[in-house]
């Protein structure tokens, strides 16, 4: 048990480290100019030099744009699913449409949202809301149908009302699906927030910084921003997975031992 747990951490960590070392060696060995590919040590240097700028960009893009959009979009998606679920007619009509829309390249609404809500973080959050809404809606609707007939019948024998059944049986049973949607949304949120910055942004934000630094050949700074984006994305996903483990501890996929 402990051996596999050690391997679970050591192997991927070792692989990542090996890639970094190879990268560093390759840059040195082939004399690759820093304007094309800076060495990891240079990137770390740039990172340490400009933590204040990186923090400003992080706050603008991740905290204000992506996170607020994710929260609003996810809440709206779940709420809409609960409302739609009350009517069988609406569910049959909206589910195929929502499924279809969820597969479309919704990032395309980014220029329209920038036109409507201006350059600041509100338009970024709006893009994220639209991107996140449909996966959340579809997953929640699927989840609300997950409780089986026997369990629902049991609730009826208790003479539970619609909302009691919802709160005590169907929403808890839907949680694995909702978290599945949240995991998809967490990765979409960052993409949406950064894409929207390419259509106009104030003079801060990760997408803005990346595009201006590419223009000035400040490639080490671009990689530092990529590192921040990578860490925020992984942290956001990890946070969702952690909460999921706490909320859906009863689900077979979360049981251990």
Which of 139, 223, 244, 248 binds other proteins (CB under 8 A)? It is 223
Shorter beta-carbon distance to other proteins: residue 165 or 185: 185
Shorter beta-carbon distance to other proteins: residue 35 or 167: 35
Write the secondary structure of the chain as one string of H (helix), E (strand) and C (coil).
CHHHHHHHHHHHHHHHHHHHHHHHHHHHHCCCCCCCCCCHHHHHHHHHHCHHHHHHHHHHHHHHHHHHHHHHHHHHHHHHHHHHHCCHHHHHHHHHHHHHHHCCCHHHHHHHHHHHHCCCHHHHHHHHHHHHHHHHHHHHHHHHCCCCHHHHHHHHHCCCCHHHHHHHHHHHHHHHHHHHHHHHHHHHHHHHHHHHHCCCCCCCCHHHHHHHHHHCCCHHHHHHHHHHHHHHHHHHHHHHHHHHHHHCCCCHHHCCC
The least distance separating other proteins from the CB of residue 209, rounded to whole angstroms, comes to 10
Q: Is 206 in the site for other proteins (CB under 8 A)?
A: yes
Which of 20, 172, 200, 247 binds other proteins (CB under 8 A)? It is 200
Within residues 100-119, the interface with other proteins by CB under 8 A covers: 100, 103-105, 107-112, 114-116
Shorter beta-carbon distance to other proteins: residue 69 or 207: 207
Q: Is 242 in the site for other proteins (CB under 8 A)?
A: no
Our CA dihedral for 106, 107, 111, 117, rounded to 10 degrees, sits at 80
Q: Is 226 in the site for other proteins (CB under 8 A)?
A: yes
Site pattern 116..135 for other proteins (x: CB under 8 A): x-------------------
The least distance separating other proteins from the CB of residue 155, rounded to whole angstroms, comes to 26
- Distance CA(30)–CA(27), nearest Å, equals 6
Within residues 66-105, the interface with other proteins by CB under 8 A covers: 89-90, 92-94, 96-97, 100, 103-105
Q: Is 234 in the site for other proteins (CB under 8 A)?
A: yes
Within residues 5-24, the interface with other proteins by CB under 8 A covers: 7-8, 11-12, 14-16
Residue 69's contacts (CB-CB under 8 Å, 6 or more residues apart) are 124, 125, 126, 127, 128, 129, 131, 132, 189, 192, 193
Residues in binding contact with other proteins, number by CB under 8 A: 54
Q: Is 36 in the site for other proteins (CB under 8 A)?
A: yes
Residues that bind other proteins (CB under 8 A): 7-8, 11-12, 14-16, 36-37, 89-90, 92-94, 96-97, 100, 103-105, 107-112, 114-116, 186-187, 190-191, 194-195, 198-200, 206-207, 210-211, 214, 219, 222-223, 225-226, 229-230, 233-234, 236-237
């Amino acid at each position: 048990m402990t051996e596999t747990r050690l391997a679970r951490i050591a192997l991927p960590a070792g692989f990542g480290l090996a890639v970094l070392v190879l990268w560093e060696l390759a840059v040195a060995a082939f004399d690759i100019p820093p304007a094309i590919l800076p060495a990891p040590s240079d990137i770390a240097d740039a990172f340490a030099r400009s933590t204040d700028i990186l923090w400003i960009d992080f706050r603008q893009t991740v905290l204000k744009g992506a996170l607020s959009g994710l929260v609003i979009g996810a809440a709206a998606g779940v709420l809409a699913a609960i409302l739609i679920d009350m009517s069988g007619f609406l569910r049959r009509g909206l589910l195929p449409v929502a499924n279809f829309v969820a597969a479309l390249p919704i990032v395309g609404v980014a220029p329209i949202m920038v036109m409507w809500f201006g350059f600041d973080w509100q338009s970024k959050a709006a893009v994220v809301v639209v991107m996140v809404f449909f996966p959340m809606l579809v997953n929640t609707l699927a989840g609300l149908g997950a409780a089986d007939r026997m369990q629902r019948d049991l609730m009826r024998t208790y003479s539970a009302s619609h909302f009691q059944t919802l709160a005590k049986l169907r929403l808890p049973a839907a949680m694995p699906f909702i978290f599945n949607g949240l995991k998809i949304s967490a990765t979409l949120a960052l993409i949406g927030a950064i894409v929207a910055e390419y259509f106009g942004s104030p003079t801060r934000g990760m997408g803005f910084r990346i595009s201006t630094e590419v223009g000035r050949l400040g490639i080490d700074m671009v990689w530092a921003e990529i590192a921040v984006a990578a860490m925020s994305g992984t942290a956001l996903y990890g946070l969702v997975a952690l909460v999921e483990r706490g909320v859906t501890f009863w689900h077979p996929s979360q049981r251990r031992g």
